[in-house]
Amino acid sequence: MSDCCAVRSSIHPSVFRVFQMMNKLGVGESWRFVDVLGLEGDQLSAVPKPCCALMLLFPLTQQHESFRAQQADKVSGGSEVYFLKQTIVNSCGTIALLHAVANNKGKLSFGNDSALKKFLDDTANMSPDDRAKQLEKNQAICEAHNEVAVQGQCRPEADKVNFHFIAFVNVDGQLYEFDGRMNGAVKHGVTKADSFITDAARVCRGFMEREHGEVRFSAVALCQS
């Protein structure tokens, strides 16, 4: 496997904190996040299946911001996906987790008092902006987020580089990328349950290849236990 497609051999601390939110918000344990050690070859084939979401943590650089500006016309505003804007400071991990869970709600199990399921049900027919406003007012999710944010979700490392979470999900046979900093999800074409992790990894490799010499990437997949 080429160096440009290798990810960190250990999960970034921010990823662990996102894991903790699953239980706090009443998501069942039938699905769990697993570390993805590489985006090609044996490392990728080792990811358990079925896999329903992939989350990528990467550095926010000028190259990335320039690339995002070129994607403005690729945003999908359709109602087939659940998308919400990131308006809470330092909340990218929480937003990525919400996107991963919301767009797989039919596959996952929830506790009877799950704050996350109630939020998703209540906001199902809202716009991305209104969902963001409701999230700002949701005490249970905000408390869980604050516990994570205090430890640092997307804060800079020593060299002042900020890191950011995004999520990839298969929605009705289409591969979507969810980034709360954008105005909607980005559609990347056809995918299938069996090929989803490979298709999502291909898009992730593009992120890595644009950052020449940068190795600070982490990826995790939401897989059935």
Question: Can you read off the two tokens belonging to residue 119?
Answer: 């939020």
CB-based contacts of 114-117 (< 8 A; 24+ apart in sequence): 114/25, 114/26, 114/27, 115/25, 115/26, 115/140, 115/141, 115/144, 116/25, 116/26, 116/27, 116/141, 117/26
Is 52 known to be catalytic?
no
**Dihedral angle sign, alpha carbons of residues 41, 47, 50, 53:** negative
Is 12 known to be catalytic?
no
Question: Which H or E run includes 134?
Answer: helix 128-137
Catalytic pick from 5, 51, 52, 92?
Answer: 92
Half-sphere exposure of 76 (CA within 13 A, CB side): 17
Question: Can you read off the two tokens belonging to residue 196?
Answer: 């989803």
The residues pairing with 174 across neighbouring beta strands, listed in sequence order, are: 171, 190
Catalytic pick from 12, 99, 145, 164?
Answer: 164
Residues designated catalytic = 92, 164
